[in-house]
Structure 1
Amino acid sequence: MAETIILDTDPGIDDAMAIMYVLANKHLKLMGITTVFGNATIEDTTRNALFIKDKFNASFDVACGAAAPLIKTPNGPTVIVHGEHGLGSVVADAPKSVAEEETAWQYMAKKITANPGEITLVAVGPLTNLALLVQNAPEAVSLVKNVVIMGGAFGENGHRGNVSPVAEANVHDDPHAANIVFAANWPVVVIGLDVTHEIACEEHYIETLRDHAGEKGRFIYDVSQFYLGFYETELKRKACYLHDPAALVYVSRPELFELREGPIVVVEEGGAEGMTIQKTESRVFSNDAWEQRPSQSVAISVDSEAVLNHFSDTLIGDHA
C-alpha cells in the first residue's frame, strides 16, 4: 500500500527533484504540497508548485503557506543557489491550476483529521508551516503518522553548517519554528547535512536522468544546471547534493539510513543561531533544556550509493 504524503516545500531546485521522485514512485502517494518561503518568495514557491502540477498533469493539491518566519527577520531568498525565482534558469509559466482556499497549516489539519494515522508530513523547507500547525491545531499532532524533515546538521561525518559554521539553511531560516516542531509530541526523523552531504550527484548522473527518465528526467536536468554551476563554484567539481529528495527516499527506503535517538534543541539567537543539538545520553543535568522534550530520530549515516541507484532507478523505471 502506498504511503500518503503531504510535502511541505519551498521549490527550489532540489525540491523540484524531490517532487519528480515522489511522482515517479509507485509506493508514495502525494496528497498535497504546502508551500513556504525559503529558496524563493512564497509567491514564487507557490507558483513553482502549481507550474509543476500543470506540467506533469498531476492531481496533488497545492496550499499556500507562510511568507516569513515566526519571529526573526527573514534571511531572504537564496538566489545564489536557486536562481531569481527558485527553479534556476527555468521560468515557470503562469499556472492554470489554483491553490486551495485554506492556508498550509489549515490544509494539513483538515487532511490529517480526516485521515488519522495515515499521513506522513515531509518538510524540506523552513518549518514555519509545521510550527503553525502545532500552535493552531494541536489536536492534529497525535494523528500524524510520521514527520520527516530535511534540515539540521549535527556534526556527523564531518558535516556541520551550510549557511554558518554550525547551521543548516532550512532550520536557520526559522529556528523558532524548528524548536516548536522538534518539541512536539509526534515522531520526527531528521535527514540533515550529516547524510545529505554524503549523497552527491555528478554531472553524468544528471545527464543519465535526462537521457533515460523521460520528461521528469529532462526537467531535472534543466533545473539542475544552475544548481550544478553554484556547486562547481563552491566545491570545485560539477556535482550537487541530493538534499530534499533524500527525505523522500527515507520514507520509501528507510533501511538505507542509520538513525540515532534523542531530544533536539535549536539555538534561536546569536552567532550559533539555527544550530541543532541532540542529547544522546540519559543523564539528567541541573541545567537541561532537553529533559522535557520527546526523543526524536536523526540520520547519522547513509548508504549513499544505494540511495543514488534507487533514485535513478525509480525515475527511469517510471518512464520505461
Structure 2
Amino acid sequence: MNHKQTVPLIADVDTGIDDSLALLYLMASPEAELLAITCTAGNVPARQVAINNLAWLELCGHADVEVALGAEVPIIQPLMTTEETHGPQGIGHAVLPAPSRSVSPRHAAEVWIDLVRERPGEITGLVTGPLTNLALAVKLEPELPKLLKRLVIMGGAFNYAGNTTPTTEWNIAVDPDSAKIVFDAFSVVPTDRRPIVCALDVTERIEMFPAHLAELARAAGSEPVEQLSADDVPGTRSTASNPVIRHLSDAVRFYFEFHNTHDQGYLAHMHDPFAAAVALDPTIATTRAATVDVELAGTLTRGQTVADWRGMWGRAANADIVVDTDPAEFFRRTIERVGSLARAAGGASDAQIAQTATPR
C-alpha cells in the first residue's frame, strides 16, 4: 500500500471495547500520525479510560503518544456509564498490564486547542465517545472548527432505531448538549470539510464474528488457533501466544457475550474502528450531506440526532452522514493492519504473559 502522506490525528475516546480496536487500528496504520489521545467519560469513567489508553499504547509499542484526561462529567446532565456493555474496566474480560506512564499535565480541551493552533488546516479530529471535550474546546477557541482539517464523529442514529433509548445513540445520549454545541459550531466550515458522521445506520453493519478474530490471530502468527464460540463458558480467557491478540480476544469475547444476551447474535458491532478507518480514508464510506441538529427538550427524545435531508429548515448542510460502506473491505484492512501490529508487538511479551496469566 502506497501511503503518500500522513494523516495527523487527535483521537478523543471513551475506551471501551470497540474504542480499543479503533486505537489498535490507528497504531497499526502507517499513514496515521497519532498526535494525542484525549479521554472523556462515557463507556466508563474518564480516569479508567485514560488507564486503558495508556495500557494499550504501551502494549503495542506506542508509549510516546500523549494521553490527556478531559471531561469527567457531561456539561449539564449526570454521567451515564455502561459497564454492562464493556466490562467493569471498559475492556471486557481483558486485564492489561498496568501502564508505567501517567496522563499528560494538559487538559484534553487544551490539547485540542494547542494542536490545531500549531498545525492549522492539517489535523483530523476523531471522536468515538461523547463530544464533551470537543464542545469545551470549541467554547474556549471558537475558531477551532476552521483550524481543524476534518472531524469524524461516531455517533447518532438517523433513519434507524437508537441503542440507548428508542431514538438515541449512546455517545450522543451521554451528553446531548455537547453534541449540539459541536454540530452548531461546525456549521461554519467549508463544504469539503464538513464533519463526517458515522451513525448506527451503518456502524451496526460492521459486524465482527469469531471468524474475524481467528483470521486476525493467524495474521499475527498467534497460537493456538483463536476459536471463540457461543457455547464457551462465559468469561473463558484466551491462551493466545501473542499478547495483543490475547488481550483483544478477552475484550471482544465480553462484547460477543453482551450482544448474544441481547438477542443480536454472537457478534460485536465495531462502531469505533469503522470511524477510525473513515478518519484515515474517507473513500471507504459513501456519504450524503444533511443538516444535523440535536433534540434537547423532548421528554421522550432528548439526545435524538435529527437530519434534515431535504433542506426543510432552510439551513445549509453541516454534516456528511455515512450512508453506505463495504464491511468486508473494512475487516480486510483491520485484519491486515492489526495483525501486523500484533506480530511486531508480540516479540517482548514474556513479562506481559506472566503478569496476566492468572485468571480473574
TM > 0.5: yes
Deviations 1:12-70 (A, max 9, x none): 11011001111111111111100000010111111111111222221211000000111
What TM-score results when the alignment is normalised by the length of structure 2? 0.82
Equivalent position of 2:309 in the other structure: 280
Q: CA deviation at 1:126?
A: 0.4
Equivalent position of 1:22 in the other structure: 26
Q: CA deviation at 1:295?
A: 2.1
Equivalent position of 1:310 in the other structure: 333
Q: CA deviation at 1:91?
A: 3.0
- Contact 1:217–1:315 (CA<8 Å) still a contact in 2? no
User: What does residue range 185-224 of structure 1 map to in structure 2 within 5 Å?
Assistant: 185-186=188-189, 187-213=194-220, 215-224=243-252
Deviations 1:87-126 (A, max 9, x none): 1122344321111111101011011100111110000000
Equivalent position of 2:73 in the other structure: 68
**Separation in structure 2 between the aligned mates of residue 236 and residue 162 of structure 1, nearest angstrom:** 12
Letter in 1 for 2:164: V
Kindly tell me: are residues 51 and 39 of structure 1, through their superposed partners in 2, closer, same or farther at Cα, counting changes over 3 Å? same
Question: Which residue, 91, 94, 97 being the options, matches 2:98?
Answer: 94
**Separation in structure 2 between the aligned mates of residue 219 and residue 249 of structure 1, nearest angstrom:** 21
- Does residue 232 of structure 1 match 2:274? no
**Separation in structure 1 between the aligned mates of residue 53 and residue 133 of structure 2, nearest angstrom:** 16
- Contact 1:117–1:143 (CA<8 Å) still a contact in 2? yes
Q: CA deviation at 1:141?
A: 2.4
Which deviates more from structure 2 when the two are superposed, residues 127-136 or residues 216-225? 216-225
**Separation in structure 1 between the aligned mates of residue 94 and residue 246 of structure 2, nearest angstrom:** 12
User: What does residue range 1-320 of structure 1 map to in structure 2 within 5 Å?
Assistant: 1-58=5-62, 59-75=64-80, 77-155=81-159, 159-184=160-185, 185-186=188-189, 187-213=194-220, 215-269=243-297, 270-283=299-312, 288=313, 291-292=314-315, 295-318=318-341, 319=343
| Identical counterparts, % of pairs | 30
Kindly tell me: are residues 246 and 236 of structure 1, through their superposed partners in 2, closer, same or farther at Cα, counting changes over 3 Å? closer
**Separation in structure 2 between the aligned mates of residue 236 and residue 11 of structure 1, nearest angstrom:** 22
**Separation in structure 2 between the aligned mates of residue 30 and residue 7 of structure 1, nearest angstrom:** 8
Q: CA deviation at 1:293?
A: 6.1
Q: CA deviation at 1:204?
A: 1.7
Q: CA deviation at 1:236?
A: 4.7
**Separation in structure 2 between the aligned mates of residue 168 and residue 228 of structure 1, nearest angstrom:** 19
| Count of residues in Structure 1 that have an aligned counterpart in Structure 2 | 310
5+ residue gaps, structure 2? 221-241, 345-360
Which deviates more from structure 2 when the two are superposed, residues 84-93 or residues 211-220? 211-220
What TM-score results when the alignment is normalised by the length of structure 1? 0.92
**Separation in structure 2 between the aligned mates of residue 146 and residue 235 of structure 1, nearest angstrom:** 36
**Separation in structure 2 between the aligned mates of residue 180 and residue 293 of structure 1, nearest angstrom:** 16
Letter in 1 for 2:171: N
Q: Secondary structure at the match of 1:263?
A: strand
**Separation in structure 1 between the aligned mates of residue 134 and residue 326 of structure 2, nearest angstrom:** 29
Letter in 2 for 1:199: I
- Contact 1:209–1:220 (CA<8 Å) still a contact in 2? no
Q: Secondary structure at the match of 1:7?
A: strand
Q: CA deviation at 1:292?
A: 5.0
Letter in 1 for 2:268: C
**Separation in structure 2 between the aligned mates of residue 247 and residue 97 of structure 1, nearest angstrom:** 27
Which deviates more from structure 2 when the two are superposed, residues 42-51 or residues 84-93? 84-93
Cα RMSD (Å): 1.6
